[in-house]
């Protein structure tokens, strides 16, 4: 083929291809433009629609806010109008009240003017009457002076002498009447006082129902069998010697079947020994080393019992604030007896009795109860220290900062000092009641009767004695003497001699009061 023709054909093909490509690209571009315009139009339409929706929503919200604001304004306006109406009503009421007050004040002012005028008239009348009375008084004074002068001339007595005679006569009559009245009042007061005292004591005893207590100086321990006695004694008696040495008591092992007796005057030691033996019996291993271990455990247990007993006594009597050392000493009284009576129970009973009587008499109840609880605290240490339990108790109370009134009650409960307060007397009475009631202290009826008979026998052995009575469980003896044989001075000497003879011939707990009574009567008859 001719190269030129081939070149032309190639150029023609190239032109045609270019035209075809251009046409194709143009068509694609137009299509893309159309699609883009259509998409843009859709976006625009969506934006317009969303804007319209947003606009409508905001318009609705604005309308709702406007409606709410309008409703709130309406409510506030209604409340303001209501408040205005209420204030207006209140103002109207106040105005009416003021008008009424003004009218009342006007009426009162009018009445006052009327009264003032009436008072002025009355004052004028009174002034006239006063002038007339002054005139009449002067006339009466002149007349009285003339009468007195005439009476002095007739009676041959001056005015002062006559007055003195009248005064003397009135004084004599007044002294006579006063003496009779005083005697009647004293008699009535004595009768009423004795009756009230009996009622108070009886009521206190009835309200305080305490157990009858009688304890001994021995404790009996039951054994499971008689073979246990040999184990307690041990080989050549080494176990029983170790027990007695460690506890300080006497163990009595005799023919009594299945029993061991622990004997000791110290109740704390006796309790330690009893617990030790019981623990050894339960444990089964009895030898000196084990005995020492059990004694130590028993001592700790007894110490705990002492502490608990003291705390329970304080709690039962409601006497808080007592020093812990005093509380511990109170607990020791659980293992202390006085003539068979448990001293801790006795102290609690005295506290209750003193408090009940103080309440009836209007005295200090808490002071009476506290002093009653602590009155025998010295008995917890009287076997360790010199002195009476009264002195030791007062020293302990002072040492642990108890009230001076409590110390005085402790000192006075056995008349070591004279009672100066009502509470001291009540503690003294409560102590006597608790110790003297039946069953409180161990004493056989035969010995009791013998003691009363011996007291009366000693009293009747003196010249001039008419009758004698042993009362208050032998704590007091009253002797009636013949007034013609014994003088007032003689009864003092007789009382001392009877008390001295009782001390020489009798043995008794505590103290015995000797009252010698001489009665003189004078009888007259009015005719």
CA nearest neighbour of 389 among 379, 404, 374:
379
Q: Do 342 and 406 reside in the same domain of the chain?
A: yes
In a domain, 195, yes or no: no
pLDDT at 210: 52
pLDDT at 218: 60
pLDDT at 1: 55
Higher pLDDT, 447 or 296: 296
Q: How far apart are CA 397 and CA 427, in angstroms?
A: 16
Angle, helices 324-332 vs 389-399, to 10°: value is 150
**334-357 residue pLDDT tens:** 888 776 678 888 889 899 888 888
pLDDT at 9: 79
pLDDT at 214: 42
Q: Quick check: 436 and 449 in contact, CB under 8 A?
A: no
> Order of strands, edge to edge, in the sheet holding 250-252?
218-222, 259-263, 250-252
Higher pLDDT, 225 or 217: 225
**390-446 residue pLDDT tens:** 888 899 999 888 889 999 999 988 877 888 888 888 888 888 887 766 555 555 456
Average pLDDT over the chain, rounded to whole? 80
Burial class (CB in 10 A: 0-12, 13-18, 19+), 197: middle
Mean pLDDT of 138-165: 74
In a domain, 268, yes or no: yes
* Across 31-45, 77-91, 184-198, 199-213, least confident range: 199-213
Domain of 460: which CATH number? 3.30.300.20
Q: Do 237 and 360 reside in the same domain of the chain?
A: yes
Q: Do 371 and 483 reside in the same domain of the chain?
A: no
In a domain, 453, yes or no: yes
Mean pLDDT of 217-234: 74
H or E, element range at 468: strand 465-471
Mean pLDDT of 161-190: 73
Choosing from 436, 457, 473, the residue where a domain stops is 436
Confidence of residue 46 (pLDDT cuts 50, 70, 90): confident
pLDDT at 155: 64
In a domain, 228, yes or no: yes
Q: Do 339 and 471 reside in the same domain of the chain?
A: no
- Number of domains within the chain: 2
Buried b / exposed e across 161-188, counting CB within 10 Å, b at 16+? eeeeeeeeeeeeeeeeeeeeeeeeeeee
Give the Å distances, CA to CA, from 187 to 105, 200, 433, 480.
66, 20, 26, 20
Choosing from 436, 465, 494, the residue where a domain stops is 436
pLDDT at 212 over 50: no
In a domain, 205, yes or no: no
Choosing from 383, 404, 436, the residue where a domain stops is 436
pLDDT at 53: 85
Q: How far apart are CA 21 and CA 383, in angstroms?
A: 140
Domain of 299: which CATH number? 3.30.1370.10
pLDDT at 213: 45
CA nearest neighbour of 306 among 293, 322, 325:
325
Range of the domain at 456: 445-518
In a domain, 309, yes or no: yes
Mean pLDDT of 7-21: 77
pTM here is 0.47
């Amino acid at each position: 083929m001719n190269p030129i023709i081939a070149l032309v054909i190639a150029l023609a093909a190239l032109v045609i291809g270019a035209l075809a490509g251009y046409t194709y690209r143009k068509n694609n571009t137009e299509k893309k433009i159309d699609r883009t315009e259509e998409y843009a139009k859709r976006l625009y339409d969506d934006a317009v629609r969303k804007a319209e929706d947003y606009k409508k929503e905001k318009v609705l919200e604005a309308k709702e806010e406007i409606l709410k604001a309008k409703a709130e304004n309406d409510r506030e306006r209604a409340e303001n109008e209501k408040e205005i109406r209420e204030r207006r009503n209140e103002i109207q009421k106040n105005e009416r009240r003021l008008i009424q007050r003004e009218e009342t004040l006007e009426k009162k002012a009018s009445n006052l003017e009327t009264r003032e005028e009436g008072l002025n008239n009355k004052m004028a009348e009174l002034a006239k009457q006063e002038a007339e009375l002054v005139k009449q008084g002067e006339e009466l004074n002149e007349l009285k002076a003339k009468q007195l002068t005439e009476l002095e001339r007739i009676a041959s007595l001056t005015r002062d002498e006559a007055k003195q005679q009248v005064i003397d006569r009135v004084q004599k009559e007044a002294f006579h009447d006063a003496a009779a009245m005083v005697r009647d009042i004293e008699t009535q007061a004595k009768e009423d006082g004795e009756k009230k005292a009996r009622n108070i004591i009886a009521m206190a005893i009835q309200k305080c129902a305490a157990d009858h207590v009688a304890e001994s100086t021995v404790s009996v321990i039951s054994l499971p069998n008689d073979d246990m006695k040999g184990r307690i004694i041990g080989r050549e008696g080494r176990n029983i010697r170790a027990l007695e040495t460690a506890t300080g008591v006497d163990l009595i092992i005799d023919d009594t079947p299945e029993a061991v007796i622990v004997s000791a005057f110290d109740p704390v030691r006796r309790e330690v020994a009893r617990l030790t033996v019981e623990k050894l019996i339960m444990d089964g291993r009895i030898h000196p080393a084990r005995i020492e271990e059990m004694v130590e455990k028993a001592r700790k247990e007894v110490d705990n019992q002492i502490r608990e007993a003291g705390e329970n006594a304080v709690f039962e009597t409601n006497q808080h604030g007592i020093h812990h050392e005093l509380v511990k000493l109170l607990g020791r009284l659980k293992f202390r007896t006085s003539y068979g009576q448990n001293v801790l129970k006795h102290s609690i009973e005295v506290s209750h009795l003193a408090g009940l009587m103080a309440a009836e008499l209007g005295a200090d109840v808490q002071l009476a109860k506290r002093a009653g609880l602590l009155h025998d605290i010295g008995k917890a240490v009287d076997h360790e220290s010199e002195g009476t339990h009264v002195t030791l108790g007062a020293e302990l109370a002072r040492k642990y900062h108890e009230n001076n009134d409590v110390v005085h009650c402790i000192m006075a409960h056995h008349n070591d000092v004279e009672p100066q307060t009502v509470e001291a007397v009540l503690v003294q009475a409560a102590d006597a009641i608790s110790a003297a009631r039946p069953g409180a202290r161990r004493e056989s009826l035969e010995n009791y009767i013998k003691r009363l008979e011996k007291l009366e026998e000693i009293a009747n052995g003196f010249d001039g004695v008419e009758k004698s009575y042993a009362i208050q469980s032998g704590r007091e003896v009253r002797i009636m003497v013949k007034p013609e044989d014994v003088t007032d001075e003689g009864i003092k000497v007789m009382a001392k001699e009877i008390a001295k003879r009782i001390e020489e011939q009798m043995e008794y707990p505590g103290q015995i009061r000797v009252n010698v009574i001489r009665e003189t009567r004078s009888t007259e008859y009015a005719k």
